[in-house]
Amino acid sequence: MNQTDISTLSQRLTDARARHQTLDSLPPEQIPADADAAYAIQHEILRLSGAQIGGWKIGAKSDTGPIQGAPLPAVDVHDNGARLPREAFTPLALELEIAFRFGRRFEPSQQPYSEAEVLAGIGSIGTTIEIVASRYAAWPNVDKLAQLADLQNNGALLVGEFEPYREDFPFVAPSLSFSFEGRNVVLEAAANPAGDPRRLLTWLVNHCALKRGLAVTPEMVITTGSYTGMFFPQSAGTASGRIEGLAPVSVTLF
C-alpha cells in the first residue's frame, strides 16, 4: 500500500463518514498492508475532517492478546442522555463499556512510559455506551486492518459522569445492567475479552507518545471494550446502561 492508496482510502472513508454512507467495495490495493498503514489512515481521516481527538477506543480479543485502538473525533463524543438519529449509523450496534480519564498529561517521549507510571496516572472512571458503525457495506466481512483504519468501527461514544478511580473496582467482572426500551439485552455473563481493561492503558499511552508524537490528556475519554457484546436495535428507542459503583449512561435513537 503506497501513499497514494493511503490518501485515497482516507478520503473515501472521510467522505463516507460525513455523508453517513457506506463503501460498496474496497480494491485490494486499498486494504492496509499493516497496522502502521491503518493507523496512518486513522489520523489522515481526522486531518481531512478537521476533527480534534476527543478520546480513544482500545481493546483486545483476549486477556493476553494484542492490543489495538483508534482515536475518536471529539464531535462524536457525546454526553449522557444524548439523542442521535438512527440513520447516521450503518450498521448500528450498542456496547456497554468502562472508560478512563487520566489525572495528568503524558507528553510525547523518546522513552516508553512504564506500566506503573501509567496506572498511577489514572484519575477517574465512568460508564460509556459505544455506537458501533462501519463505513463498509460488507461489514463485518471486511479485512480487519481495513476496519482498524475506519476508526475501528466507531460511530459515536456516549459518556456518563466520571467517578474517582478506585484500585479495588471489580474491573474483570463488574455487576451491570444494559437494556433497550426496558428490555434486558445482556445475553451472556458480563465480561471484557481483554480481561482487566487497565492492561490496555500502557499500550495506548506509548502508542501515542512514541509512535504518533501525541499527548494523552486528562480531557480524553478512553473507552476499553465491551462487557456485553454487540446489541443491534431494530427500532428507535432508548438504551440504558449501569455498571455498579458508577453513574448510569443512556442514549436515545430516533
- pLDDT tens digits, 123-148: 999 999 999 999 999 999 999 999 99
- Give the separation between CA 134 and CA 227, rounded to whole angstroms: 20
- Give the separation between CA 45 and CA 34, rounded to whole angstroms: 17
Q: State the cell numbers at 222.
A: 478512553
Output the pLDDT for position 80: 98
Whether a cis peptide bond, with omega within 30° of 0, leads into 91 is: yes
Distances, alpha carbon 201 to alpha carbons 9, 46, 79, in Å: 28, 22, 22
Output the pLDDT for position 189: 81
- Side chain identity at residue 223, one-letter code: T
- Give the separation between CA 57 and CA 130, rounded to whole angstroms: 9
Helix axes 35-49, 3-19, angle to 10 degrees: 50
Output the pLDDT for position 70: 98
Output the pLDDT for position 207: 98
Output the pLDDT for position 188: 78
What digits encode the pLDDT tens for the residues 194-229? 999 999 999 999 999 999 999 999 999 999 999 999
- Judge whether 95 and 241 are in contact, CB under 8 Å: no
- Give the separation between CA 20 and CA 43, rounded to whole angstroms: 19
Handedness of CA 237, 243, 244, 247 (dihedral sign): negative
Q: State the cell numbers at 238.
A: 432508548
Tens place of pLDDT per residue across the chain (254 aa): 788 989 999 999 999 999 999 999 899 999 999 999 999 999 999 999 999 999 999 999 999 999 999 999 999 999 999 999 999 998 999 999 999 999 999 999 999 999 999 999 999 999 999 999 999 999 999 999 999 999 999 999 999 999 999 999 999 999 999 999 999 999 778 899 999 999 999 999 999 999 999 999 999 999 999 999 999 999 999 999 999 999 999 999 99
- Give the separation between CA 63 and CA 44, rounded to whole angstroms: 30
> Which domains occur in the chain, in start order?
52-253 (3.90.850.10)
Output the pLDDT for position 165: 98
- Give the separation between CA 69 and CA 228, rounded to whole angstroms: 19
